[in-house]
Amino acid sequence: DGGITQSPKYLFRKEGQNVTLSCEQNLNHDAMYWYRQDPGQGLRLIYYSQIVNDFQKGDIAEGYSVSREKKESFPLTVTSAQKNPTAFYLCASSKYDTGNAAFFGQGTRLTVV
């Protein structure tokens, strides 16, 4: 089945630790994205990548890092510099056609304890 897989679904992190969220897609999509959802805030863009080995900052990139070594994979690292990391993280991908509709994974709930 084609789709986007995020893992893990739930993640707990101690304050001061870095953590990496996985995102894999087998849709042969060119672009991949990371969004963060907080209550009442909608979806805010963290990073995106339109091609392998290239990525751009979104609106709230501070405290996050990404890599795009393979077309299928776009992992997100939440670093200790991120001041408020507890949130629901969503990965998406899209193909370059009219509209650029994005398809989402099931999300990762990160909680800092």
Partner 1 sequence: DQQVKQNSPSLSVQEGRISILNCDYTNSMFDYFLWYKKYPAEGPTFLISISSIKDKNEDGRFTVFLNKSAKHLSLHIVPSQPGDSAVYFCAASDGSGNTPLVFGKGTRLSVIA
Please report whether residue 52 would count as binding partner 1 according to CB under 8 A: no
Q: Which stretch binds partner 1 (CB under 8 A): 12-20, 42-50, 62-70, 78-86?
A: 42-50
Q: Which of 26, 27, 22, 76 is nearest to 49 (CA)?
A: 76
Please report whether residue 101 would count as binding partner 1 according to CB under 8 A: yes
Q: Which of 100, 102, 82 is nearest to 91 (CA)?
A: 102
The count of chain residues that interact with partner 1, using the rule CB under 8 A, is: 31
State how far the alpha carbon of 19 is from the alpha carbons of 1, 12, 96, in Å. Answer: 28, 9, 30
Task: Rule CB under 8 A: choose which of 21, 24, 33, 74 binds partner 1.
Answer: 33
Q: Which stretch binds partner 1 (CB under 8 A): 11-19, 66-74, 77-85, 100-108?
A: 100-108
